[in-house]
Structure 1
Amino acid sequence: MWSTLGLFTAMTGADAPSGGGSAGQSVPPFQLNTLCFGLAGALALIILAGQGRLRDVIATTPKALALTVAGLFGYHALYFTALRNAPAVEANLINYLWPLLIVVFSGLLPGERLRWFHGLGAALGFAGAGILIVAQGASFEGGFALGYAAALGAALFWSSYSVLSRLFPDVPTGAVTGACLITSVLSLGCHLLFETTVWPATLTGWVGVVALGLFPVGAAFFVWDIGMKRGDIQVLGAAAYATPILSTLLLIAFGFGAFTWPVVAACLLVTLGAVIAAKEMLLGRR
């Protein structure tokens, strides 16, 4: 679902298919966040009500709620700051340290073992993402230090949130609903302070907003919560590098890019890395 972020963002009128920033008649990022997280939270409330599980929304702890809000809102605020203060290519490369950091940080969790193949798989995934991004023309310059620092902060926020979620296994995934609604309100505040309101001008634009709220800025966070709490966290970290690859392939399929050798190399490296990281899981041994 996260791999559809670029495609659906392009539909909202953003001039950068990767979702990196806003210009012209693009829907500003914090406004888009407000709409998408608001939609995701509202739909989750309806679904939980239909299932008789509305109590899940408040079945959390202050620490768990603060962690989730920090993950959802903090990550996006830092990521947007990075894109506004550094070139998108370089900012994205630094941002995509988060899957590798998830694998590294997971070794600090009780009951988790960080093995050499987990690290190797994540490193190969980062190499694949790096090839894909650097091929777009990365050139780090000191004048963009604030943007680079914000991108690193975004990677640290998301990886820390993901790993620390493991410490709250008894908090139901439905509690993410409240964090989505709070994130929407905080994003609205940032939008009113820092942005000029721009509504989608076409039906395609509104379809893009709804699609974002349903999937990459909606349901994806709920299933990620399940994965972080119940899944193989090292394998998920390494496999997360499929996101930029699949995103690129989707954009190519819909006419936003070209199929080149860096794309092929990146696909091969990410796939190899994910398979290596999942060695024990695939062989049925732990």
Structure 2
Amino acid sequence: MKTKATLIGFTAILMWSFLALMTAASGTMPPFQLSAITFAIGSLPGLALFAARPERLQSLRQPPKVWLAGVGGLFGYHFLYFTALRNAPAVEAGLIAYLWPLLIVVGSALLPGEKLGWHHIVGAIAGLAGTALIVAKNGLAFDPAYSLGYVAAFLCAFTWAAYSLISRKFEAVSTDVVTGFCLATSILSLVCHLGLETTVWPETATQWVAVVGLGLLPVGLAFYVWDYGVKNGDIQILGASSYAAPLLSTLILIIFGFGDISARIGLSCVLITGGAMLAAKDMVLRKKDVAS
């Protein structure tokens, strides 16, 4: 059961790997507008399920702390991420934001029933190193002038890590409630868009397909399976394995002609894959024991 849930959670990482490609293909829509539309699309399957089975609407009756954690996690992460990118260079801000898998692994030690091992920490650090090679291909230059952006990026990482860890503590809460989180995030993003941005609509059918694809997968289904995975699977493995997202995203961009393969990418692959395998060694050994 735990292994199955972990694998289901990992599909979120696979979907997030297509985020960069789909976002690039979606045109020039400003980020909060894109967030408002894609989260609205992401809530549609859940709303359809509620319409077909009205009794499942009961799952939306949750204590305020559940709603605060869920909406704060989804909307808070994106708000802080966009703030970071607007106030700091994308490379440095992106790398700081990608501290969240490491924070999940380390923070999991605070969860009841979890035991943090050296291999979890080393695996996550290896993943962070591999991510740094991908993101900072032209080097890093942290400038105090961009302090606001750097702080927002760190808070972004902390927010997503906290959301994932708190979700584990709310393991009795049905994943159906993610529909409500997505809908609330869509509304808050719309408010930010109307107050901060100029509306830009997709100009081609391809761009519309990309927007819908974002809403259905990396900004939709991914949040449902991630919620299920962190609640029922091995959150330490999921945390360390999350560093596969930037690697897979880079490889996908290369496949579609947006980049070139290099020794740096190869080393990143070794670090991230090796780190994930090291973090998952307990799960692998458990499967061998069962098989024998």
- State the TM-score, normalizing by the size of structure 1: 0.93
More helix, by proportion: 2
**Which among 20, 26, 32 is matched to residue 6 of structure 1?**
20
Hey, what does 1:118 align to over in structure 2?
A: 120
Letter in 2 for 1:171: V
Question: In the aligned structure 1, how far is the partner of 2:267 from the partner of 2:257?
Answer: 20
Higher relative contact order, chain-length normalized (CA < 8 Å, sep 6+): 2
Partners of 1:41 and 1:181 within 8 A in 2: yes
What secondary structure, in the 3-state scheme, does the structure 1 residue paired with 2:47 have? helix
**Which among 137, 140, 158 is matched to residue 138 of structure 1?**
140
Hey, what does 1:16 align to over in structure 2?
A: none
The correspondence of residues 269-280 of structure 1 with structure 2, limited to 5 A, is 269-280=271-282
Shift of 1:137: 3.5
The correspondence of residues 29-48 of structure 1 with structure 2, limited to 5 A, is 29-48=31-50
Partners of 1:99 and 1:237 within 8 A in 2: yes
Cα gap change, 1:167 to 1:263, in 2 (>3 Å): same
Q: Between Structure 1 and Structure 2, how many residues are aligned?
A: 273
1:67 paired to 2:69: yes
Letter in 2 for 1:268: V
Cα gap change, 1:113 to 1:107, in 2 (>3 Å): same
Hey, what does 1:100 align to over in structure 2?
A: 102
The correspondence of residues 1-286 of structure 1 with structure 2, limited to 5 A, is 1-13=15-27, 26-51=28-53, 54-284=56-286
What secondary structure, in the 3-state scheme, does the structure 1 residue paired with 2:217 have? helix
Question: In the aligned structure 2, how far is the partner of 1:220 from the partner of 1:210?
Answer: 14
Question: In the aligned structure 1, how far is the partner of 2:53 from the partner of 2:21?
Answer: 32
Cα gap change, 1:202 to 1:101, in 2 (>3 Å): same
Letter in 2 for 1:60: Q
Output the aligned Cα RMSD.
1.2
**Could you tell which deviates more after superposition, 44-53 or 72-81?**
44-53
Shift of 1:51: 4.9
Partners of 1:59 and 1:172 within 8 A in 2: no
Q: Point out where structure 1 has 5 or more consecutive residues left out of the alignment.
A: 14-25
Partners of 2:59 and 2:173 within 8 A in 1: no
